[in-house]
Amino acid sequence: MATPEGSQTLWRANLIVACGTALSRVTGLIRIIVFGVMIGQTALADAYDAANNAPNVVYELLLGGVLAASLVPLFTRYIQDGDDDSVNAISSFAVVALATITALALLASPLIFRVFSLNPSNEINVAMFRSTGTSLTRLFIIQIFFYGLTAIASAILNSKRRFFAAAWTPVVANLVTIFTLLAIPRVTSMRPPTINEVSTNRPLQLLLGLGSTFGIIAMTLLMVIALSRSGAKLKWNLDLNHPAVKRLLKLSGWAVGYVVANQISLVVIKNLASPGSGNVDA
């Protein structure tokens, strides 16, 4: 039977998560509205959308499903048992995997963006569309590493029943992106940018690409700060043969099929909308 103190603690934790999630949704909606006002329904919007989706797709396809399906139950067990060695082994393995995948994805940026533009609109300059999209993808793709770090930190914090940071830090990411989008008129003489302009204007390209990326980095840094304040004792312990690492891979295997199917469907839908026409972003 739950004690009054326990019920109150649970209620408070649920309220914190609910408020953070709600505000995250609200700021996410504001971000979409601001993007629509600043960029419009254009070929540039489609290029941005595809490039911005790239790190999410690669992360979920290669590692996100593994981490999401397994980290929390494993960390909860190891933390309750006081097994810091296993927690460190899993965290170290995940960091190396993230760095490797991010580096490979950065090299493969042209191919990744091309997958999102297999069926481009006939009304655009396809070469310019893909060139601009690839440049933006290179700026977005490094988010993969920080998505993973956030997932690791969030899983450890959740295992310690600390929910505030994971619920509220996405708000910061949205706000950083919003403020970056609002700065676009300063670079474009108070008018919406075109894909032609972005292809030749490096400062504008960096503003578009790094705005969202800096938001993700800020979110990750706040998660790491919260993790350090939680008393977590993390140390480097890279051991690919560690039982905890093997268990992580074994437990996550069932999620791979679902994740692959989900990401393939996303790519198909994006291509059916004729990338470059403005319909993808719509």
Select the more confidently predicted residue: 120 or 247: 247
Residue 129 binned pLDDT confidence (cut-offs 50, 70, 90): confident
DSSP state string for 46-100? HHHHHHHHHHHHHHIIIIIHHHHHHHHHHHHHHHHTT-HHHHHHHHHHHHHHHHH
| Residue corresponding to tokens 């481009």 | 120
Q: Are 103 and 96 in contact (CB under 8 A)?
A: no
Whole-number CA gyration radius for the chain: 20
Mean pLDDT of the chain: 83
Per-residue pLDDT reduced to its tens digit, 154-202: 889 888 888 888 889 999 999 999 999 998 888 887 778 888 888 888 8
Average pLDDT over residues 221-225: 94
Q: Say whether pLDDT at 279 is over 70.
A: no
- Report the amino acid identity of residue 185: P
Region 261-281 average pLDDT: 58
pLDDT given at position 219: 95
Is residue 99 within 8 Å of 145, Cβ to Cβ? yes
Q: With 80 as the cut, is the pLDDT of residue 58 above it?
A: yes
Residues 132, 195 contacting (CB under 8 angstroms): yes
Assess whether pLDDT exceeds 70 at residue 88. yes
Rounded CA separation 218/222 (Å): 6
Look up residue 254 and give its two tokens. 């069932």
More confident of the two residues 251 and 6? 251
Percent of the chain's residues with pLDDT above 70: 84
At which residue do the structure tokens 């291509």 appear? 271
Find the mean pLDDT for residues 43-69.
81
* Measured distance CA(41)–CA(19) in Å, rounded: 31
Q: What end-to-end distance do the CA atoms of the chain give, in Å?
A: 51
* CA–CA dist 117, 46 (Å, integer): 9
Cα separation, 130 vs 27, in Å, equals 30
Rounded CA-CA distance 20/14 in Å is 10
Band of residue 114 on the pLDDT scale cut at 50, 70, 90: confident
User: Looking up tokens 């048992």, which residue turns up?
Assistant: 81
Q: What is the pLDDT of residue 173?
A: 94
Q: How confident is the model at residue 150 (pLDDT cuts 50, 70, 90)?
A: very high
* Helices marked H in the chain: 4-39, 43-59, 65-80, 84-107, 109-115, 126-140, 143-159, 164-182, 184-187, 195-200, 202-229, 243-272
Measured from the Cβ of residue 25, the count of other Cβ atoms closer than 10 Å reads: 13
Q: For 164, what's the count of Cα atoms within 13 Å in the CB-facing half-sphere?
A: 9
Provide the token pair at 202: 């490096």
Global pTM? 0.84
